[in-house]
Amino acid sequence: QADYTINTAGHLSIGGCDALALAQEFKTPLVVYDVSKIRQTFQDLHATFEAAQIDYVISYASKAFATIAMYQVAKQEHAHIDVVSGGELFTAMQANFPMANISFHGNNKSYEELTMAVDQEVGMIVVDNFTEIKMLQEILRNHATTANILLRITPGISAHTHEYIQTGQADSKFGFDLASGQAAEALQIVLADEHFKVCGIHAHIGSQIFESTGFVEEAKILVATLANWQAEYGFNAQVLNLGGGFGIRYTQDDEPKAPQDMLITVINAVKAAVASAQIKMPAIWIEPGRAVVGPAGYSLYRVGTRKDVPGIEAYITVDGGMGDNIRPALYQAEYEAVLAKNPQAPTTQTARLAGKYCESGDILIEHQALPDVEQGDVIAMLATGAYGYSMASNYNRNGRPAVVFAENGIAKVVVRRETYQDLVALDVSYE
Ligand code: LLP
């Protein structure tokens, strides 16, 4: 099970705050982050790089959870961030995030988004395709300026994960294909244009990865690519960006390596490959998203109705569901939940934890073991901090939940709950 803490009252405790008190004060459904867990993960990753004595950047992949408060925590923990849209970039601007520490990703950045990135002097643009090169050349020429770029490469590696979240295999919509020579062609174009400061290369092989083998393979391929490119084109890369993808524990069946342990293996693989290729050691950049915020997030729901049919597993329905966490419906993602008032109470039943949305597929957890529960009880789903709130919707015109940061016993709303008024705020009358 994902880990959790219990306070002296026997209740679930998040960031030193009693989960029942949080549900009472801020209402449900509620997303709560234990901020010290987020900080600890950043600090563990920093410590691993420091011990390896190499240049590095930890760039938080903010698609996992992108809000002003989260960008501020990333800044406080000396992390860079990745953004993938004008909206994430704007949010980072609102957080006063240093633009020099932002990387801009995406396989279809618009002209407006690229212009915004250039205007804001975003520190790194991760160039994905030939169309983007053309647009960026024009924008940089018109602005009489330069941009730091990385070339995103598709290294042809399949990470063992859900097919929707694999990204590094050859047949991918992202990046320049390596095997066919597309990447080398892109390199020659950008090296020939003085508006580009070509800093290095990037690849991302997938998400929720438990084994270091894929990363080690990636490191070997990318270092070999850099060695070739140095020999062929005289290109000296300063940055080797390995992307994100460290897996986390959602259920007791998950046994991921700790991110820092994966990282040590990957760093050693890069060092070995660099030594044998006899190139200069580049800075290693990583882009963890899920590993930073996933384990730190909890979704608090109240139990509503119940349906029992003889011979069929009961449905216990909570006041949220696929609108605040689409992952079970979309990826068959698995989670575990506990009863907040007594997380370790002996279980008496196995039930389906259903959501309130008008779809049969809106089941948050299949076969959840639970003690007896009553209407109004608070149930906490664990490890929901990544790609939960960030993928939330207003389906069925339910407002998105509030988000609370809890740290050292103090809870603060960092995103307020959507109101009915918010839900109609963009509607325009037609009578
Ligand atoms: N870097 C790049 C270029 C990425 O595309 C991603 C994730 C990351 C970093 C961060 O990966 P992480 O460390 O979080 O695994 N919505 C899906 C996950 C999609 C991931 C997309 N890219 C989910 O809920 O599982």
On whether the CB atoms of residues 183 and 176 are closer than 8 A, the answer is yes
Residue 143: predicted pLDDT: 98
Query: For the chain, which ranges sit under pLDDT 50?
Result: none
Nearest protein CA to atom 19 of ligand 1, as residue: 165
Residue 64 Cα, ligand 1 centroid: separation in angstroms?
Answer: 7
Binding residues for pyridoxal 5'-phosphate: 245, 287-290, 387
- Which listed CATH number (3.10.20.30, 2.60.120.560, 2.40.37.10, 3.90.45.10) goes with 5-34+296-424? 2.40.37.10
d(CA 414, CA 431): 37
DSSP 8-state assignment for residue 129: S
Task: Name the residue type at position 197.
Answer: K
pTM over 0.95: yes
Residue 166: predicted pLDDT: 56
On whether the CB atoms of residues 185 and 146 are closer than 8 A, the answer is no
Residue 290 Cα, ligand 1 centroid: separation in angstroms?
Answer: 7
Residues belonging to the chain: 431
pLDDT in tens, 158-216: 665 555 555 666 788 999 999 999 999 999 999 999 999 999 999 999 999 998 999 99
**Beta bridge pairs of residue 381:** 299, 337
Nearest Cα neighbor of 384 from 35, 81, 24, 64 is: 64
CB atoms near residue 25 (< 10 Å): 13
For 231, counting Cβ atoms within 10 Å of its Cβ (0-12 exposed, 13-18 middle, 19+ buried), the class is exposed
Q: What residues does CATH 3.20.20.10 cover in the chain?
A: 54-290
Q: For residue 237, how many C-alpha atoms fall within 13 Å in the half-sphere facing its CB? A: 28
Nearest Cα neighbor of 380 from 295, 260, 298 is: 298
Residue 157: predicted pLDDT: 83
For every residue of 168-196, DSSP letters joined together read -SSS-SSSEESTTSHHHHHHHHHHT-TTE
SS3 165: helix
Does 327 sit in the ligand 1 pocket, CB within 6 Å?
Answer: yes
pLDDT in tens, 211-229: 899 999 999 999 999 999 9
The encoded tokens of residue 218 equal 């990636």
Nearest Cα neighbor of 134 from 117, 159, 114, 162 is: 114
Q: What residues does CATH 2.40.37.10 cover in the chain?
A: 5-34+296-424
Architecture of domain 54-290: Alpha-Beta Barrel (3.20)
**Catalytic annotation on 358?**
yes
- Give the H/E segment covering residue 286: strand 283-286
243 CA closest ligand 1 atom index: 1
